[in-house]
Amino acid sequence: MTRLLALLFLLALPAAAEDKLALVMVEREGCAYCARWDAEIAPIWPKTEVGQAAPLRRVAFDALPGDLSLEGKPPFTPTFILVRNGVELDRLEGYSGEHFFWPLVERMVADAQRSDGNDP
């Protein structure tokens, strides 16, 4: 009986862990806008409510991982792609400053949470 309970517990773990949002940042070396984002947003991101709801995952523009299901290759960097279980939900292409970034990304995450029934 103990083994059966342990097995059921282990089988339940991936399902619970799967339903997570992440903000994928597609970047490339030498990208001035990526560097600007790093200076203005990166230190703050994990400390914010939106950053905790959608932890940042950085990927290289020239080496997109196979575990992401995107609607298309990003046209340039940075591109921010909100994913759930690796599947694209929404994206923000480019970075033109923190005053534009925060409201757009906060809306993206809030919309994803609402569609889940998990209001922010």
pLDDT digits (tens, 9 = 90+) for 26-55: 999 999 999 999 999 999 999 999 999 999
pTM: predicted TM-score of the whole model, two decimal places: 0.81
- What are the CA-CA distances from residue 113 to residues 14, 25, 53 (Å)? 20, 19, 9
Domains of the chain and any CATH numbers:
20-116 (3.40.30.10)
Per-residue model confidence (pLDDT) at position 118: 56
Burial of 89 (0-12, 13-18, 19+ CB in 10 A): middle
Q: What are phi and psi of 8, to 5 degrees?
A: -60, -40
